[in-house]
A and B are shown apart, each in its own frame.
Chain A
Amino acid sequence: MLLLEQSLVTAVLKEDRKAQIALYNLCFPLLIGMVRRFHSNEEDQVTLVNNAFMKILKHLPTFDDKYFESWIRKIIKNEIIDDFRRNKKYKAAFVFVDNYLVEEAVGPEIDDTFSKEYLQELLYNLSAPSRAVFNLHVIEGYAHKEIGTMLGISEQTSKWHVKIARKKLRELLTKENAYENR
């Protein structure tokens, strides 16, 4: 859990550049960790992480919550979602589904000892909308209804993208397993 020391906050509020950098270093792993799951492009990552950090700096004087980590999570999540909403190309890439019935899929047994970097690479094989919905639902734990609200899509569309993402990931993991077992 991220802990924010009062002395650091005081120094940041005085616009001490060293303190600002120290705060950036503190927030960076969480910010980049989340952004990286959504965007593979470094330019996008820099923009989103630093946009979020500038908002943290701006709103730090009014921050009175004890839970710093959940606060910055919310800021970076909103920044990512906002980017999605602003960017028409992402929205156009969504496949909109009206009626979709969720079925539990069962695949072959797969070894689950994969590195974080490898799983990250697998996520980049998904389309941007599917990756976003999968991230929000599976990793961040949002319900489909909430995701629909955030991204301006229906609940059914959200479910469909998660299903497609799972299917693709399962295929890739199975392929990797088969390759290693040869």
Chain B
Amino acid sequence: MKTDRELDSLFKSTFNEFSHEIPSEVFMDDLDSRLSKSKSKRTLGYWRWYLSGLVIIISIVGWSSWNIMEARTTKEPVHTNLLKEKKEIKIQAVEDEVNEITKKGNDKVYPSLSNKKVSDNVVKLIENNKNKQNERAIDKVLSGEINLLPVEPRYNNLDSQLTFTTYIIEELNLANSDTLKKDSIQLSKLLETISSTSRKQPVEKKWKFSMSLLNGVSHIYSRTGTPTIEDAQQLAFTSSYTQEDLKDFVNHRKSIESAITSWDMSIRMEAKHGKLVISSGLDLIRWGERISFGDTLGIEQLNTYSYLNIPLNIGLNYSFHKWQLQPYIGVSLGMSINNAMGDYVIFNDPSADYMVSNYRANKFSGVLQSGCLIEYLSTSGYKVMLNPTIRTSISNIVEDGLIKTAYSSFGLQLGVGYQW
């Protein structure tokens, strides 16, 4: 073996063939733990998606069922419900009074009834509530056309006036006439109005709290820090690519990074005082970045970066019946909890032989955010929410010296919660 060629040939011929070999216990133990780990990781991954799906389904079903229940309640004639309630609570007392009047049954009482005039306060009350729908019925009552025989309208307090109106309705219902029955419906609406004014308003609590779970996705619409040609050259670790290849690489990366999406899950705690809303909680943001440079460098990989942030938002609350709008601004700060660099595998391009995937996620995560929370709050305190958000990072997602990736994104979350 004199020459280099002969020496090379000795090593090449010896090592080119692989003899059959059984892996030792050390290899098998390590493999076993890796396979188990990867399976449990995948199972956890599936659960995460099942859970997300479940929250969305519960949100939709919950929201729909509240609406259906609401619709059913409003379909029932209001006056029937009110009459039942009034009958149970008030009728007995009034009947007693009427009975008393009837017992007396003397001419002193009857003329006043036959006079069919109501007290001035009641007239005022009824007239104040007069509108196009009920004016006909009210005119009939006030003109005495409707028989108010059993009622002595001398009660000036509101409860008595309600009772009076209830009796009017009953009278109208008892009358065997379609027109009068229509009048009765109009009057029942009047009763509802009066009834609502008579309810004691609950004392407004100074602070209201709520807790909710939100789940959604966001999408990058702008970013900074796309690598320069020089960065790309270092990134590709090669001097053999042409400038054109590297330009392609940069352009691909620009277009691919604009397609980054994230999965966002938030636990949100909220405190309201008047119009002021302060909220905080826990945000789990998981970015997924699919890299595919099959045409130029022959690379395909998926990088993921997960962050756990604590947000602090300040907003204002505007109520519209059961709907609430909450525009807010805030900041969300946290730490990287996991970053998984994708594996590269080069299939087809023999010239693109090697690529290192050494991006490093930044440990610190800071985000400025604003949005407008839209809530539907049921009377029982449960709520469904839609949360469109805009975020701008104040730190880079990736920071490894070559690639610095900051972003602005638009996201949408759906959630359920409870307010007390």
Contact = CB atoms under 8 A, between A and B. Distances in A.
B388 to A, nearest CB: 36
Interface in B234-291: 237-240
B107 interface: no
A65 to B, nearest CB: 7
A39 interface: no
Contacts of B27: 28, 32, 46, 49-50
B249 to A, nearest CB: 15
A32 B22 CA distance: 10
A24 B343 CA distance: 19
A17 B346 contact: no
Contacts of B2: 106-109
B74 interface: no
Given A24-B31, A138-B11, A139-B12, A149 B237 contact: yes
B15 A139 contact: yes
Contacts of B145: none
Contact of B19 (A29, A58, A106): A29
Nearest to B23: A28
Given A46-B26, A82-B356, A54 B38 contact: yes
Q: Is the contact region of chain A dominated by helix, strand, or loop, or is it mixed?
A: helix
Given A49-B27, A109-B2, A149 B18 contact: no
B350 to A, nearest CB: 10
A116 B344 contact: no
Contacts of A71: 347
Contacts of B71: none
B3 interface: yes
B23 A32 contact: yes
Contact of A170 (B7, B21, B353): B7
B12 A110 contact: no
Contacts of A58: 343
Interface string B12-49: 10111011111100111011001100110000000000
Given A50-B31, A59-B345, A150 B10 contact: no
A9 interface: no
A29 B346 contact: no
B8 interface: yes
A121 interface: no
B39 A15 contact: yes
Interface of B: 1-4, 6-8, 10-12, 14-16, 18-23, 26-28, 30-31, 34-35, 38-39, 237-240, 343-347, 353-354, 356, 358
Q: Which 5 A-B pairs have the closest CB atoms?
A: A110-B1, A29-B18, A33-B18, A149-B238, A138-B8
